[in-house]
Each structure stands twice: as C-alpha cells, then as structure tokens.
C-alpha cells in the first residue's frame, strides 16, 4: 500500500449495502466533506433533461471549452447524486477545460437496470443536440465516470454504437466495475480491501440487476464484440476487486482495434483518490484531466 494512503485505511467506513437508504446518508456525509474545487473560472448551472422521467444534470462550463463529457458518478448504482459528485465533476471541468455534464441518474434498488442507463442515454442525446448552447463542439463529446459511473460510460458507449446514437469520441473509465461474475483473480483474492470488498460487490450487482440476468449493457464485460467503440483511458487501482476485469476489458478493446491507454496505479485502492493529500491521488486526478484535455483537443 502507498505509505501516504495506509494511515487513512482505518478511517474509511465499511460500506454495508444491505440497507441502501442508510448507506446513502453515510456516503453523502463522506463525499460532501471533501474540499470544494476552485471554480472561479467555471460557470455552474443545473438543468433538467426531458425524458421519462426527466433527468437532473449539473453543467460545468469552463471558459473557452472545446469538448464536452457526460460525467457519471460512482456509488455502486445505489449511492450518489449531483451534490456528492460536485467535488469531482468540478475538478474534471477545471482541470480538463471540458464542459462537464454531471448526471443525476436513478438509483437501485428502487430503480434497477436499465433505469440508470436509460437516464444516461437520454442525457447523451440531449448533450449532443444542445452542444452549441452548452458551449462545446458536438464532434468532441466524451463519456466518463468512476466505478459504477465508469460502467455506465462503457455501457452507453456500447449502446451508442449499436443504436447509431450520438458519436462518442472518448470514454474515460476510472476504476470501472464491469463484470457481475467476480471470477477474476483480483475479484476472488481482494475480498476485504478498503472501501470495496467481495460482499459489497455482490450487493452492488444484486441491487442493480434486481434479480434479472446480466446483459452486456448492464455488465459490459459480457459484450462479445468490442469493435467500433470509442478510444478509452482506463485507470485501475492495485488493491481493488474490480482491477482485473477492467484490465481485461482494456486488453479486449485493444484486440478489437480500439486505441486504449491503460494505467494501473500501484499501491492504491478503490476510491483512494479521495485522499487528496496523497501525492499519488494528485497524480491520478491530474492525469485523468490531462488525458481528457488531449482526447478532446484532437
């Protein structure tokens, strides 16, 4: 474990998703305690995307933005909202110079798959149709997120390819959970790692799937054909049950002819970049922003 991260491990709460409502409150308290980013050069506005039902979004618009990204929060499909994601969405906008459309998608178990994906799909189409008003070039549109949000980003990329949806230039997948089967080495070995463990992963997929079988749009690792997908940046944490499924997905994208940048962050665990004082966290956040900036500048 990275020596700057290790002292904080006992302070991380153990998530128990057997009571999603209670855990949402704990997650909100933790997420909103983080320092707010400096957004003096970023215009922030809330919007409502017409859909069935309507979807709330928060748009972060830096000066002289060129590209835009539909940004999806983590929280195991069960936790998180526009407010908990504010520290991260703001940092992505400030660091990358891209317009960030943060999505308040519906949460499981009250709204199991495909509710969240349908919300993301509606926002993707809205963002592409309103790019001029939002301040970015519609040909420079990306999707991205952390953990469950990264899963949704990968899933909506598949759906956009299959349904001839808006063209996506880039997908930024930070520590994605992509496979409900938990059959990888890291999934079987890292059963008690900080913040993410085997029981929690099982609960995440149980709540999200709602008892239905997983499809490729729910768990993108199940997709057989990854050709024709957007270029990707995939970041993984060393001590994370999701690590190997994300690496495997990156390798399969490469084998399908998709450009991929894959960064395995040594000594880190799932969500450890929330510890902003650690040098490795600063590098993680800085690299993600720089990668997005480059991807949307081409």
Known catalytic residues are: 147, 240, 270
Q: Which helix (H) or strand (E) holds 71?
A: strand 68-72
Residue 107's Cα: distance from chain center in Å?
14
* Structure token digits, residue 202: 């099982």
Which residue reads 């995440």 in tokens? Answer: 204
- Alpha-carbon span 173 to 250, nearest angstrom: 10
- Alpha-carbon span 88 to 269, nearest angstrom: 17
- Reference 185, options 242, 118, 267, 145; nearest CA is 242
Quick one: DSSP state of residue 235? E
Instruction: Write phi, then psi, for 155 (nearest 5 degrees).
Output: -65, -45
């Amino acid at each position: 474990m990275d020596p700057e991260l290790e002292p904080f491990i006992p302070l991380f709460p153990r998530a128990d998703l057997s009571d999603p409502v209670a855990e949402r409150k704990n997650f909100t308290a933790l997420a909103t305690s983080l320092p707010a980013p400096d957004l003096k050069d970023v215009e922030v506005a809330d919007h409502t995307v017409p859909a069935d039902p309507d979807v709330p979004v928060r748009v972060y618009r830096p000066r002289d933005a060129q590209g835009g990204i539909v940004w999806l929060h983590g929280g195991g499909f069960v936790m998180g909202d526009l407010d908990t994601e504010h520290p991260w969405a703001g940092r992505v906008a400030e660091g990358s110079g891209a317009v960030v459309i943060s999505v308040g998608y519906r949460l499981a178990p009250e709204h199991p798959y495909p509710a969240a994906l349908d919300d993301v799909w509606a926002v993707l189409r809205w963002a592409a149709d309103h790019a001029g008003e939002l301040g970015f070039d519609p040909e420079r549109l990306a999707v991205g997120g952390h953990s469950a949000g990264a899963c949704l980003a990968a899933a909506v990329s598949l759906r956009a390819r299959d349904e001839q949806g808006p063209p996506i230039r880039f997908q930024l997948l930070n520590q994605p959970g992509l496979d409900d089967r938990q059959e990888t080495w890291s999934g079987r070995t890292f059963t008690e790692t900080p913040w993410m463990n085997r029981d929690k992963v099982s609960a995440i997929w149980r709540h999200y799937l709602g008892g239905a079988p997983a499809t490729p749009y729910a768990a993108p690792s199940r997709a057989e054909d990854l050709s024709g997908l957007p270029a990707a940046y995939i970041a993984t944490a060393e001590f994370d049950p999701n690590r190997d499924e994300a690496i495997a997905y990156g390798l399969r994208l490469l084998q399908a002819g998709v450009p991929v940048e894959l960064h395995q962050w040594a000594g880190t665990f799932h969500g450890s970049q929330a510890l902003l004082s650690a040098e490795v966290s600063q590098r993680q956040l800085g690299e993600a922003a720089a990668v997005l900036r480059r991807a949307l500048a081409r």
